[in-house]
């Protein structure tokens, strides 16, 4: 395939936009080469500015569960836009979407809409701190909760040390209140809670991780985490920006059988438009302004275009729960096909899969946390990524990202994808 126009557009973009992109992973730094500039998309396919067609396995990083340009969502946005795009005032559709979301997700009574997943997670932590009257939080290495200062922390020198900032602009004062644990390692969490008794407000986690590849929690770990948080009076926050309404109507809570205290959602709740939300039981949510003392606001929160798109998306998922089963079957089919090819080729690999999330890691060791994910052969991944791209398959341009299937992908697309793997090695 040729990408002359995409490359030219990237050169121009770099003159006016830092790095030429508005989110770093888009720049292809992890895989090399120039990014693809998308012109349009429909169903399972992306079409770039050079006229190339790709089977899409990122689905706008998760929210487009029903495929690109899903007609009920598009029609809902068009009709709502005719009546105005933004008011900064209450609208009925906010309540309609809130009522539907609360009915679908377990363990929540109220929900507040924000403008991004980052804002949802940031607000959830502030709410947890305000409710609990404590300052510290625990996060897990490799879990990404947006670019709020509290989350841009890397591990310190030992299991019970404070984190340190891994981005300039994040202060040591912020870092000292963020503690780092290891995913799928309950003992690392216990060590932190024992070393910081009665100081931890919340534990925040991707219940099924998607930002170090797809990493599945063991039952012992995720159930034990719930029990530990309950015993220690710590709020458990599920960052379901990726998993919410994707792993089932009730998201990861439903799929894993684990109750969270606060849940964060991302763009799926706006049908793929820029939006987020956080939700909890009434006694926690009632701490938010204007009812309570914990301040959180957003001028364009509850934007009517996003609300209309979200209502159309969630209505479709709520009325057709078989979509989740269908997606899981397709993902399993893809898993088995890629595994068979790589095994025949003698390529060391691990494939992780949960529901419609999947990732391929080029290593001979199980991938269960960030450190084991980091042991993958990145040179092989780069070869794999660009080989698939040239065969018309668009994968996440990073070894540390989950793939997301959408319902528009057919078995013929899956067969094409599996066949593409055979051409690379």
CB atoms within 10 A of CB 326: 14
Average pLDDT in the 56-69 region?
97
In sequence order, the 6+-apart residues with CB closer than 8 A to the CB of 100 are 311, 314, 315, 318
DSSP 209: B
On whether the CB atoms of residues 278 and 123 are closer than 8 A, the answer is yes
The answer to whether 144 is a known catalytic residue is yes
Residue 82 has φ and ψ, to the nearest 5°, of -65, -20
Catalytic residue among 48, 56, 177, 239: 239
Residue 140 has φ and ψ, to the nearest 5°, of -115, 135
CA of residue 227 relative to chain centroid, distance:
25
- The tokens for 360 are 């391929």
Q: Give pLDDT, residue 168.
A: 74
DSSP 66: T
- The tokens for 355 are 């529901």
Q: How far apart are CA 352 and CA 360, in angstroms?
A: 7
* pLDDT tops 50 at residue 156: no
Structure confidence at residue 74 as a pLDDT band (50, 70, 90): very high
DSSP 348: -
On whether the CB atoms of residues 349 and 365 are closer than 8 A, the answer is no
Q: How far apart are CA 337 and CA 320, in angstroms?
A: 27
Instruction: Express each pLDDT in 393-416 by its tens digit.
Output: 999 999 999 999 999 999 999 999
More confident position, 156 or 94: 94
In sequence order, the 6+-apart residues with CB closer than 8 A to the CB of 241 are 62, 117, 120, 121, 145, 146, 264, 265, 266, 267, 276
Q: How far apart are CA 277 and CA 117, in angstroms?
A: 7
Catalytic residue among 80, 267, 330, 382: 267
- Cα radius of gyration (the chain): 21
Give the chain's end-to-end CA distance (angstroms, integer). Answer: 18
Instruction: Express each pLDDT in 185-213 by its tens digit.
Output: 999 999 999 999 999 999 999 999 999 99
Structure confidence at residue 163 as a pLDDT band (50, 70, 90): very low
Q: Which SS3 state, helix, strand or coil, does residue 143 take? A: coil
CA angle 284, 290, 292 (to 5 degrees): 40
* Lowest mean per-residue pLDDT among 7-16, 67-76, 165-174: 165-174
Catalytic residue among 45, 70, 144, 183: 144
CA angle 204, 278, 239 (to 5 degrees): 30
Cα within 13 Å of Cα(234), Cβ side = 29
More confident position, 84 or 146: 84
CB atoms within 10 A of CB 274: 15
Q: Give pLDDT, residue 160.
A: 33
* pLDDT tops 50 at residue 392: yes
Q: How far apart are CA 403 and CA 397, in angstroms?
A: 10
Average pLDDT in the 263-279 region?
96
Q: Give pLDDT, residue 167.
A: 67
- Beta strand extents in 65-154 (DSSP E only): 110-114, 136-140, 153-154
Structure confidence at residue 304 as a pLDDT band (50, 70, 90): very high
The answer to whether 239 is a known catalytic residue is yes
Instruction: Express each pLDDT in 337-356 by its tens digit.
Output: 999 999 999 999 999 999 99
In sequence order, the 6+-apart residues with CB closer than 8 A to the CB of 325 are none
Average pLDDT over the chain reads 94
What is the residue extent of each domain of the chain? 1-30, 71-319, 322-364
Q: Give pLDDT, residue 166.
A: 63
CA of residue 301 relative to chain centroid, distance:
20
CA of residue 331 relative to chain centroid, distance:
17
Q: How far apart are CA 352 and CA 366, in angstroms?
A: 9
Q: How far apart are CA 334 and CA 328, in angstroms?
A: 10
* pLDDT tops 50 at residue 155: no
* pLDDT tops 80 at residue 130: yes
* Lowest mean per-residue pLDDT among 171-185, 229-243, 270-284: 171-185
Q: In what order do the strands lie in the sheet with 262-265?
A: 110-114, 276-280, 262-265, 235-239, 200-205, 136-140, 178-181
Third-level CATH fold of 71-319 = 3.40.640
């Amino acid at each position: 395939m040729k990408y002359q126009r995409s490359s030219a557009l990237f050169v121009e973009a770099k003159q006016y936009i830092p790095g030429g992109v508005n989110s770093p992973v888009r720049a292809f730094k992890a895989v090399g080469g120039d990014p693809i500039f998308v012109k349009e998309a429909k169903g399972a396919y992306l079409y770039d500015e050079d006229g190339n067609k790709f089977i899409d396995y990122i689905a706008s990083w998760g929210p487009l569960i029903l495929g690109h340009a899903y007609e009920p969502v598009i029609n809902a946005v068009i009709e709502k836009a005719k009546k105005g795009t933004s008011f900064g005032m209450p609208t009925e559709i906010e309540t309609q979407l809130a009522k539907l979301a609360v009915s679908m997700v377990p363990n929540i009574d109220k929900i507040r809409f924000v403008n991004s997943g980052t804002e949802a997670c940031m607000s959830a932590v502030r709410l947890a701190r305000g409710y609990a009257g404590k300052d510290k939080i625990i996060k897990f290495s490799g879990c990404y909760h947006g670019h709020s200062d509290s989350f841009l922390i890397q591990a310190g020198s030992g299991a019970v040390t404070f984190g340190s900032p891994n981005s300039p602009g994040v202060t040591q004062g912020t870092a000292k209140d963020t503690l780092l644990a290891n995913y799928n390692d309950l003992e690392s969490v216990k060590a932190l809670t024992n070393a910081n008794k009665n100081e931890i407000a919340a534990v925040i986690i991707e219940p099924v991780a998607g930002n170090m590849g797809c990493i599945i929690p063991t039952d012992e770990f995720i159930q034990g985490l719930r029990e530990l948080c309950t015993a220690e009076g710590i709020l458990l926050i599920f960052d379901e920006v990726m998993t919410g309404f994707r792993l089932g109507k009730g998201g990861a809570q439903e799929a894993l059988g684990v109750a969270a205290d606060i849940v964060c959602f991302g763009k799926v709740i706006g049908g793929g438009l820029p939006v987020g939300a956080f939700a909890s039981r009434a006694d926690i949510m009632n701490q938010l302004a204007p009812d309570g003392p914990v301040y959180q606001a957003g001028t364009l929160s509850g934007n009517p275009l996003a609300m209309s798109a979200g209502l159309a998306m969630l209505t479709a998922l709520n009325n057709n729960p078989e979509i989740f089963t269908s997606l899981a079957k397709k993902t399993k089919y893809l898993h088995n096909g890629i595994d068979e090819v790589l095994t025949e080729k003698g390529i060391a690999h691990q494939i992780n899969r949960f529901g419609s999330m999947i990732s391929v890691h080029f290593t001979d060791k199980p991938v269960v946390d960030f450190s084991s994910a980091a042991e993958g052969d990145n040179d092989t991944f780069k070869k794999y990524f660009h080989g698939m791209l040239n065969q018309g398959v668009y994968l996440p341009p990073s070894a540390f990202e989950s793939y997301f299937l959408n319902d528009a992908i057919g078995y013929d697309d899956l067969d094409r994808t599996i066949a593409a793997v055979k051409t690379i090695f």
